[in-house]
Structure 1
Amino acid sequence: MLNVNVEQIQLPLAHITLAAKRYGQADKPIILALHGWLDNADSFIPLAEAFSQQGLFERYQLLCIDWPGHGLSEHRPGRYPLHWVDYIYDLQAVIELVSDNQPIILMGHSLGGIIASAYNACLGENIAKLVLIEALAPLSESADNAKSRLRKGLLQQQRFNRQLARPIPTYSSLDVAIHARHQLTGLALPWCKLITERNMQLVGDKYAWRSDPRLKLDSLNRFTFEQVDALMTTSDTDTLFIAAQDGYKQLTLSEQHANAWFTNIKMLTLMGDHHLHMGNANQVAETIGAFILN
């Protein structure tokens, strides 16, 4: 159980207001946690509980944000397609707001790890240490896919715009929505419950997703491997990379790439699935704690 101060806060950025949760005291050095796609800040609750048991909050605060369109954060205005690189701009704005010009520890899971690694590649001087969970670098694909990806994305956006006139899908109870996410993703029910509750809102007497529906649309473009390689080469930030034994291999790439992109990286594979920071929180927290305090 948590034995630490927990505070719901708002981060008013110049372009959008984000919601966040702070564990610990605001005057402590920051561990900034970035969640994955369609998750939210509450995906870090199990890790926060494990950090608390370790006494990590005597030294640090854990600041977990909701990305735009996720959790309790605002959605991006308008109806234009979303682009993954915009999250890097969001992250820069958050760091400028909260860091007090001091390097922070940056921790990201999945999409959060992708954004963390890309930001560190460009502005590593703002990062004291980097923790990547089930993500090593931005996704890439062959340049041959450029036309088909853009065409698919535009047609998908066209269909999406027509659907906006339809009523918002609702659920009779939170349990129905929780089980729907469980069936769709296979994520364990306790973790579906944590994430789903923060991603839902009441519409009349029923529940609807609070998440921006545009999040489910495909990206209009993706980097080639040559672009990713040029971006990632080379960081000297002290880095911990944690992969899951049953995780997403396309997000974690290989030891060869990691050693080419990071001059000082520790790589571990731990028991668990893609959300191992929830299902195997104690071991993940022990690993991160040892890395941070070293």
Structure 2
Amino acid sequence: MLSERTFEVSDYSLSALCHESQGASNCILMLHGWLDNAASFTPLMEEISAKNPDIQLIALDLPGHGYSSHSHSGYYPFHDYIDSLHQVISQINNECDCPLTLVGHSMGALIASCYSAAFPENVGHLVQIEGYGPIYESPQNSLSRLRKGVLSRQRVSKKPPRFFESFDEMVQLRARRYVLNAEEITPLVERDSEQTEHGWHWRHDKKLKAESLYRMTEAQAKQVIEALPKSNLLILGDTGFTHLSSICTSTAQILHIKGGHHCHLSCPRSISEAIIALILFG
């Protein structure tokens, strides 16, 4: 049975789903993808906890997502996620003296990779699902990136809220987008929706849809990749971001499994077994 937990950090109150374990042998901290939330890891957490009850599991709602608070003053620069994550990990380390494994999906994988490279002393193992290292682009795109980012903020701020007639409509919309069935996607939609007098609407902050003002250069991204932990697993769905295997230049193990970009929702057992094997055998 998973429980709710809250982490108070500098700018946010961050919610999380947890499987607590007294005297835990290991701790696995999970970071979801863009516009997803902690519930995207529910099937994976249930698989792991059923066979490994001594492992503490925490799936975090990133700022602006799920039940976590929204930004009161601005948008969501990528590096701010790393700051918030560091504050959460510091709290976990004060409570639990056990090795930490970071598991990230998509955007969460990007965050996890950057954190692991910058704070290697805090991460024993790294698992990236459908994401590998930070996104980068040519420095020649800096001005166009800045312009597009600012203009996208204007568009997002002026866009009216969207309401749905029913919860089922939201489930079907997200299921089609993620190429999953309704049962697989429902927990994620439940954590990202609420009913109001005007109808159902998404809980996540609409400012998350604004484009980035900047991105790393290839040279900067390579520094991150070269500093990733030796115990490093990249998991790719066979209909997901398969191109990532061709740019993987670190010592990462690569696991190809059945599924798409959200393969951790459709194939949690295979992924849970791979994560446990990484923790036990490196």
TM-score, length basis structure 2: 0.92
User: Residues 50 and 103 of structure 1: is their aligned pair in 2 closer, same or farther, counting only changes over 3 Å?
Assistant: closer
Aligned-partner residue type, residue 226 of structure 1: A
Partner residue in 1 for 2:134: 138
Residue 38 (1) aligns with residue 25 (2): no
Partner residue in 1 for 2:88: 94
User: Residues 236 and 254 of structure 1: is their aligned pair in 2 closer, same or farther, counting only changes over 3 Å?
Assistant: same
Partner residue in 2 for 1:219: 212
Residue 156 (1) aligns with residue 152 (2): yes
Q: How many percent of aligned residue pairs carry the same amino acid?
A: 33
Residue 109 (1) aligns with residue 105 (2): yes
Give the conservation status (yes or no) of the 8 Å contact 1:102–1:126.
no
TM-score, length basis structure 1: 0.88
Partner residue in 2 for 1:262: none
- SS where residue 124 of structure 2 aligns? strand
The size of the alignment, in residue pairs, is 278
Selected match of 2:249 from 253, 257, 264: 257
User: Residues 220 and 191 of structure 1: is their aligned pair in 2 closer, same or farther, counting only changes over 3 Å?
Assistant: farther
- SS where residue 10 of structure 2 aligns? coil
Q: Per-residue displacement from partner, 1:218-242 (whole Å, max 9, x unpaired)?
A: 1111112111012332334411221
Q: Per-residue displacement from partner, 1:152-181 (whole Å, max 9, x unpaired)?
A: 121121222333xx4x32112110111122
Selected match of 2:55 from 50, 60, 65: 60
Give the conservation status (yes or no) of the 8 Å contact 1:47–1:277.
yes
Cα distance in 2 for residues equivalent to 1:283 and 1:151:
43
Deviation at 1:27, TM superposition (A): 4.0
Partner residue in 2 for 1:287: 274
> Which has the higher mean CA deviation after the structures are superposed, 280-289 or 24-33?
24-33
User: Residues 188 and 113 of structure 1: is their aligned pair in 2 closer, same or farther, counting only changes over 3 Å?
Assistant: same
Cα distance in 2 for residues equivalent to 1:97 and 1:25:
16
> Which has the higher mean CA deviation after the structures are superposed, 102-111 or 23-32?
23-32
**RMSD, aligned α-carbons:** 1.9
Selected match of 1:83 from 71, 74, 77: 77
Deviation at 1:187, TM superposition (A): 3.7
- SS where residue 241 of structure 1 aligns? strand
Aligned-partner residue type, residue 264 of structure 2: H
Deviation at 1:9, TM superposition (A): 1.0
Cα distance in 1 for residues equivalent to 2:81 and 2:260:
25
Cα distance in 1 for residues equivalent to 2:22 and 2:35:
27
Q: Per-residue displacement from partner, 1:33-58 (whole Å, max 9, x unpaired)?
A: 111111111101111222134x112x
Give the conservation status (yes or no) of the 8 Å contact 1:30–1:99.
no
Q: Per-residue displacement from partner, 1:220-278 (whole Å, max 9, x unpaired)?
A: 1111211101233233441122111111246x35365224xxxxx32221111111111
Cα distance in 2 for residues equivalent to 1:216 and 1:203:
22
- SS where residue 254 of structure 1 aligns? helix
Q: Per-residue displacement from partner, 1:104-161 (whole Å, max 9, x unpaired)?
A: 1111111111111100101011112111111110011122222212111211212223
Give the conservation status (yes or no) of the 8 Å contact 1:124–1:237.
no
Cα distance in 1 for residues equivalent to 2:130 and 2:12:
27
Cα distance in 1 for residues equivalent to 2:22 and 2:112:
22
Cα distance in 1 for residues equivalent to 2:190 and 2:239:
26
Partner residue in 1 for 2:254: 267
Partner residue in 1 for 2:3: 7
Ranges of 4+ aligned residues in structure 1 off by more than 4 Å: none
Task: Show structure 1 runs of 5+ residues with no match.
Answer: 260-264
Residue 247 (1) aligns with residue 240 (2): yes
Cα distance in 1 for residues equivalent to 2:214 and 2:10:
26
- SS where residue 11 of structure 2 aligns? coil
Cα distance in 1 for residues equivalent to 2:77 and 2:16:
22
Give the conservation status (yes or no) of the 8 Å contact 2:33–2:108.
yes
Cα distance in 1 for residues equivalent to 2:140 and 2:58:
40
